[in-house]
Amino acid sequence: SEGKIPRPLNSWLIFLKDFTAKIKTESNVKLCIKDISSMASKSWSNQPPQVKQFFEILGVSAKQVHTLIFPGYKFRPERK
């Protein structure tokens, strides 16, 4: 719906977005998002702490930028 503010990306979503972009450029095989997400989850589990910390920092930065763009934003999930 128009006017709906998206949630800020967290460290996992930023990692998944990066992982997906790499897989799509490096792989000739067309994979569905379910398979890519599963692969990313395994990759995330095997990442060294420095890599996870890097994405945590990106997540904090994304949240700060989101706060600047959408001051007063509060996540309010809607029931279906």
End-to-end Cα spacing for the chain: 14
How confident is residue 1, by pLDDT bands cut at 50, 70 and 90?
very low
Burial state string for 3-12 with b = 16 or more CB within 10 A and e = fewer than 16: eeeeebbbbe
Please say whether the beta carbons of 39 and 63 come within 8 A: no
Q: What is the model's pTM? A: 0.85
Q: Give residue-wise pLDDT tens across range 33-45.
A: 999 999 999 999 9
Nearest CA among 36, 31, 30 for reference residue 15: 36
Please say whether the beta carbons of 73 and 5 come within 8 A: yes
